[in-house]
Amino acid sequence: MARVYVSLDIETTGLNPDRDEILEIGAVRFKGNQTYDEFSVLVNPGCPIPYKIQQLTGILPEDIEDAPPISAVTADLQRFVGDNPIIGHNINFDLSFLRKHGVLHENIGIDTFELASILLPHASIYSLSALLAHLDVPPIEDGQAHRALDDAQAARQLFEALLDQARRLDSRIIQEVARVSAKTKWPLSIIFRDLSRERRYSAPSGTLGQQLAAKGLIGDADTEGGYAFMLGGNKQRIDPPLKPAPEQTPLNLEKLCRMLETDGLFEKNFAEFEYRPQQVDMMANVIGALNESQHLMVEAGTGTGKSMAYLIPAIYWAVQNGQRVVISTNTINLQDQLLNKDIPRLQQMLPIKFKAIALKGRSNYVCPRRVQMFQAKENHSPTELRLLAKLLTWLPSTTTGDREELFMPDYGEQALWSQVASDGNICTSRYCTAENCFYARARRAAESAHVIVVNHALL
């Protein structure tokens, strides 16, 4: 984009701008791929450098003995930056230290952490180094983390890589975020405005909804929100509900227990398999309870292998009888273990095919219609704009609408989720079907699943 930016980073004696001081400042002035100039200076903080900071940065007391104080540096830094926007990872941290010394008060601060949280909703870690690795950006040659100039250069690399990601978004998403944020003080609005200008002559005009209506993709009543577009790329085939078998078929106890014994199916498939008699005993009791339609309470210690002892009978029972089995967990960790580890392993190994899904409470699912209403509000706050940008970026790609897929580290965003979540008082069958409602879709999908994993709160 045809705009000059300055990427900036500082190293400090600590994390609190009220009591800690600046050790080093690094900055790069650039426009696109062209570097105009660099700024790098060590600063005498006027106080001892904590040992852990010496270890982290490599800046030693002797390095700053003859360095100038911050008061002798700020004027040069302000001249270097000018009135250009400042780029940085968690840039508000850096600006809080510098503004304490009377500089850069008027400059826009663009946070690559915030931008990444919008454009990369599925990244696992959002540190500077992790994001660069996620985007396959090669490290700076001879660069050193936690040195100001090197980190400023890395932030510039991340910023350029994120812009490349943004350019891959549907034009309508970019234009809608630019339109909604146009008259606000949200720092990232200039990014989306500039991206929108890049496409001005190749993209259709009007709001997102108006563009879709003009193409006949949605009705006039939907033109302000682009609600249909939010679901355009994520439709999934919903299987028909399970059909119960005419007669109940009991489980073969001997056949299933043999899987967990020496030379059984598990030992042949897993090198780490260990025969555990208590696991086989538990499975036998679960099988007996299912066959006899009885209640069973089991208390088993760590290392028993409880998950497999109840999963295998539950899966076979569901498949051969055309019925659903609900597994309720007390913790999210156990739920994740079942869905991401144990069940996928069984789907690969067992000779039968089965479907398993997670089903959560209604408020865990986004409602596209409520996003439309949230989008139509006026005078969005920066936090609201950040969440809206995340939603518009994420919605066309998600197949679940589960809030767990959306990176929301900020408490303000988490509090706003209730305004876009599915709500039984608002989301009715008149408006919400499996075609346009993630919660309804999840409930429909559960009807065709053999195993449904929930938490206790949903029961």
pLDDT in tens, the chain (459 residues): 579 999 999 999 999 999 999 999 999 999 999 999 999 999 999 999 999 999 999 999 999 999 999 999 999 999 999 999 999 999 999 999 999 999 999 999 999 999 999 999 989 999 999 999 999 999 888 778 899 999 999 999 999 999 999 999 999 999 999 999 998 999 999 999 999 998 875 555 555 555 444 433 344 444 444 455 555 555 567 788 899 999 999 999 999 999 998 888 998 888 788 899 999 999 999 999 999 999 999 998 888 899 999 999 999 999 999 999 999 998 878 888 899 999 999 999 999 999 999 999 999 999 998 999 999 998 999 999 999 999 999 998 898 999 999 999 999 999 999 999 999 888 777 777 767 789 988 999 999 999 999 988 787
CATH class of 5-168: alpha beta
State the first-to-last Cα distance of the chain, in angstroms, to the nearest integer: 52
- Given this model, what pLDDT does residue 204 score? 52
Closest by alpha carbon to 155, among 212, 91, 211?
Answer: 91
Those residues whose C-beta lies under 8 Å from the C-beta of residue 138, and which sit 6 or more positions away, are none
Closest by alpha carbon to 102, among 78, 67, 127, 137?
Answer: 78
| Contact in structure between 25 and 40 (CB atoms under 8 Å) | yes
- Given this model, what pLDDT does residue 231 score? 57
- Residue in the structure block whose two tokens are 């780490």: 272
Identity of residue 456: H
- Given this model, what pLDDT does residue 59 score? 97
Q: What is the largest CA-CA distance in the chain?
A: 88
| Contact in structure between 146 and 56 (CB atoms under 8 Å) | yes
CA 212: distance to chain centroid?
A: 28
| Contact in structure between 316 and 354 (CB atoms under 8 Å) | no
| Contact in structure between 451 and 325 (CB atoms under 8 Å) | yes
- Given this model, what pLDDT does residue 1 score? 53
In total, the chain counts a number of residues equal to 459
C-alpha distances in Å from residue 104, one per residue of 10, 97, 202, 368, 394: 14, 10, 36, 40, 34
Closest by alpha carbon to 158, among 85, 90, 88, 92?
Answer: 88
Those residues whose C-beta lies under 8 Å from the C-beta of residue 299, and which sit 6 or more positions away, are none
Domain ranges, ordered by start, for the chain: 5-168, 175-237+362-451
**What token pair was written down for 224?**
């302000």
Q: Hey, is 143 helix, strand or coil?
A: coil
